[in-house]
Structure 1
Amino acid sequence: MTVLGTRALNRATLARQLLLDRADLPPAAAVAHVGGLQAQEPQEPFVGLWSRLRAFDPATLSDLVTGRGVVRTHLMRRTVHLVTAADALAWRARHDPMLRQRVMGVYRRELHGIDLDELAAEGREVMADGVARSMSEFARALADRRPDVSPRALGEMLIALVPVVQLPPRGVWRTRAGVRNALVSSWLGREVDPPAPADLDPVGEALVRRYLAAFGPAASADLRAWCGLAGLPRAVAAVRAELVSFRDERGRELLDLPDAPRPDPDTPAPVRFLPAFDNALLGYDDRSRIVDDAHRGLSVAGVRVVLLDGRVGATWGVEGGAVTVTPLRSLSRAEHAGVDEEGRALASFLSDGEHDRVRIGPTAG
C-alpha cells in the first residue's frame, strides 16, 4: 500500500480546502465543498472564505445568511457551523444522538431524571409561535416545571433536542448581534429530514464521501474527530469499495475518493491567513499534516494562524487598525515578503480598503 508522507498529505489538505489555489466558486458552493465553516465567532467565516475564494465579496455571504441559503446551527462536534440550508436539513437528524450525549456529558447531574422527549415537546410548543428567542429565554419558559435545573442546562439541552438555527443579523458582515434562535422548520419552511431506518445509514455514507472530498486522504479517526459521530464504521464499510487506500508514516490506513486531488508534495504553497477554529486544522484527529505538535493547542484555543509553506508558522490578529503577525519560527526573506503581501491584502479586506497596514513582530518566545 502506498505510503503518503506528511508533505503529501499537507498538499492534499490544502487542495481540498481551497487553500492551495483560490477557487472561482460562489460562496454557497464553497461552504458546501468544505463541509461547512466553524462559526461560533460570527465574523470568522468571512476570513475563511476570503482566503479560499478569488474576488470574494462579503456582501454575498451576508445575503446568503439573510436569504436563508446558509444557516448557523449546532452540528459537527456540537459546535456552531455555517452550513448550506440543504446540508442543515439533511444532516441534523444524523447528529441528534451526538448532540444529546455531549450536552448530557456536561450536565448529567442536573438533567438526571429529566424526560427528554417531554422537554423537547414543550420546547417545540414554546417555539411554535415563530418568535426568535435567546437560549436563556427559551429555558426560562420551561423552568417553572423544573426549578432544580439551571436555565443554562435546560437551554443547552433544548438546543440539542430541537433543531434550531441562529438568526441574522448575527453572522452578517460587520454586524454585532446576540444569538436569537428559531426552529429550522420556521426559518427554512420545512422539517429536517427524518432519521433513516435502523438498518440503513445513507446520511452517514454521504458524510463519509463529503468528508473525504474536503479533507482526504484521512483515517476513520480523522472523520470522527471532524463530525463527532461515533456510529460511522458501518457507513465507512458500506462505501469502502468506492474508495482507495493509503498508509501514512505512522502506519494508519487512509481512505480517499479515487479521483480526488493529491498534488505533488513539492507543489508550492502560498501564504494563507486562517480564521479562528478553521476546520483545516480541527478536521483531523492527527493534525501533524498541518501543524507541529508544539503548536497543536493553537487550533483549539481560537488563535488565528498563518500557513507558511502549508503549515502553521505564525499567529495573527488585528490591533490598532493593522494586521499583526507573530511568527512561531524564523522567517526567510521570501516568507517575510509573502506574509507582508498577503497581510496587506487581508488588512484591506477587513477595512474595506481604508488601510493595508501589517506589522510583523519578533518570533514568539
Structure 2
Amino acid sequence: MEPKKIIENRFFNQKLAESAWVASPEEVVFHFGAMQSQNYSQSLWAVGSRLITPSELAVKKAIDNGEIIRTWLLRGTIHLFSARDYHWMMDLIAPTIDKICRPHRKKLGLTEEILSKASEVVETFVAKEVVTRKELANHLAENNLPNAGIPFAQLLVYLSSRKIICSGPNETFRNIELIPKQTHIFTREEAVQELAKRYLQSHAPATLKDFCFWSGLTVTDAKMALANFTKEDEFYLNELTKNVISTRQIPLAGFDEWIIGYKDRSIVLSEAWQDEIITKNGIFRPAIISDGQVVGKWEKPKKQIELQGEYWDRYIQFRNML
C-alpha cells in the first residue's frame, strides 16, 4: 500500500482531519479504545486536538467526573479509556499486566501476603474519600506497607489492575463505585475482537505487528481478532476513505497515537527525526506534522506570544490563551 494512501486514511481514522473531529472528550477516547497517557498534560491535548471545540477544561472535566479513566492498561502503561469500557478492558488486560509485573514484584519483595494486606488496607481507605498519591503513600506507611519508589509504583499498578483503585479528580485515586456497571459481559474472544475493532477504526491501515505492539496481545490472539477484517498487502483496513490532508502544520501531543500507536513508524517519522522525537529512555516528545509527516518538535509554551503560525490557533483555543 502506498504511503500516501496509508496517511490519508490514518489521518481520518485518527480524528485529525477536520471532517472527523468529534464533540466530546469521551467520544474521542471511546473511538480509540485507549489512548496513551504517560504524560498527563500532553494527553489532554492528544484528546483536545481531535475535538470540534478544543478545550483543556473540557478534557480535564471528563477525567475528573469519571467519564474517562486514566490508569495502567495496555502494555502495563498509563492510558485514557472510557468508563463505558472499564470493566471489559480491565478484565481482558489485567492478566497481561500481571504477567509483565510479576517478575518485578518478586524482585522487589512484594509477596502475596503484602499484596493481600495492601489490597485490604487501600480498599478500606478509598471507600471513605478520594485520596492524593501522597495521602495514599502516608496511609500505606502507617500500615508498614511499601510507600515510596518503585515498590510503591508497582503496588499502585497491582491495585489498579485488581479494580481496587482508579483515577479520581485532579490526578487523585478513588474506588470504582462511580464507574457504570457492565451492561454486556464479554467472553474473552469477544473482548479481543472488540479491542481489534477499536484499534482499526482509529489506527487503520495497520499491520498485525502494529496491533500486537499497541495492544500487548499475543500474535495468536491478534490473528484471531483481525481474521474478519479486510486486508490489503500486509495492512488491515477499516473503511477506506480518500481524505485530502491539509498542508498546514499540526502540533501533536507527546506520546500521540499518530506515532506511538504503531510498531513501524517509518511512514510518518523519518530517520532524521527519530532521535529528536523518541528518546533513548522511551519518551515521545511533542511533534509537529505536515502532510502527516513529522517536520519538527515543540515544547509546552507559557505565553501565547511564543506560538507563531496559524497552526497554533486550535492549541491557543485549547489552552484558553486568547
Q: 1:301 to 1:117 in 2, by over 3 A?
A: closer
Structure 1 residue 291 displacement after superposition: 0.9
Whole-angstrom distance in 2 between the partners of 1:192 and 1:73: 22
Within 5 A, what are the aligned runs for 1:272-287?
Answer: 272-287=250-265
- Cα displacement (A) at 1:273: 0.9
In 2, distance between residues paired with 1:58 and 1:82? 15
For residues 277 and 194 of structure 1, the distance between their equivalents in structure 2, rounded to whole angstroms, comes to 31
Paired position in structure 2 for 1:335: none
Change (3 A) 1:95 1:137: farther
Question: What's 1:261 paired with?
Answer: 240
Query: Paired residue for 1:295?
Result: 273
CA distance in 1, matches of 2:152, 2:41: 27
Q: In the alignment, which residue of structure 1 is the partner of 2:179?
A: 188
5+ long unaligned stretches in structure 2: none
Alignment CA distance shift 1:153-1:206 (3 Å)? closer
* SS of match in other structure, 1:18: coil
The residue aligned with 1:19 is 16
- Do the aligned partners of 1:10 and 1:310 also contact (CA within 8 Å) in 2? yes
Q: Which residue of 1 aligns with 2:316?
A: 347
2:266 match: secondary structure: coil
1:222 pairs with 2:201: no
1:10 is matched with which residue?
Answer: 7
The alpha carbon displacement at 1:202 in A equals 1.0
TM-score of the superposed pair, with normalisation by structure 1: 0.73
Partner of 2:291: 309
- Tell me which of the two structures has the higher relative contact order, counting C-alpha pairs closer than 8 angstroms and 6 or more residues apart: 2
Higher deviation after alignment, 43-52 or 127-136: 127-136
Paired residues of 1:48 and 1:274 also in contact (CA < 8 A):
yes
Residue 8 (structure 1) shift: 1.8
2-structure distance, mates of 1:8, 1:140: 55
Alpha carbons of 1:41 and 1:13: their partners in 2 closer, same or farther (altered >3 Å)? same
Instruction: Give yes or no for contact 1:208–1:236 (8 Å, CA) kept in 2.
Output: no
1:192 deviation in Å? 10
In structure 2, the residue matched to 1:45 is 43
Deviation at 1:288, TM superposition (A): 1.3
Give, as a single letter, the amino acid of the residue that structure 2 aligns with 1:292.
S
Structure with greater strand share of residues: 1
- SS for the counterpart of 1:225 is helix
In structure 2, what is the equivalent of residue 233 of structure 1?
220
CA gap of 1:203–1:189, structure 2 versus 1, over 3 A, is closer
Higher helix share: 2
Q: State the alpha-carbon separation in 2 of the partners of residues 128 and 50 from structure 1.
A: 30
- 1:102 is displaced (CA, Å) by 2.5
Distance 2:167 2:272 in 1: 35
Aligned counterparts of 2:7 and 2:53: Cα–Cα separation in 1:
25
- d(CA) in 2 for partners of 1:218, 1:288: 13
Once the two structures are overlaid, the 10-residue window that deviates more, 202-211 or 291-300, is: 291-300
Larger radius of gyration: 1
3-state SS, counterpart of residue 314 of structure 1: strand
Unpaired segments of 5 or more residues in structure 1? 171-179, 248-252, 326-338, 354-365
Identity %: 18
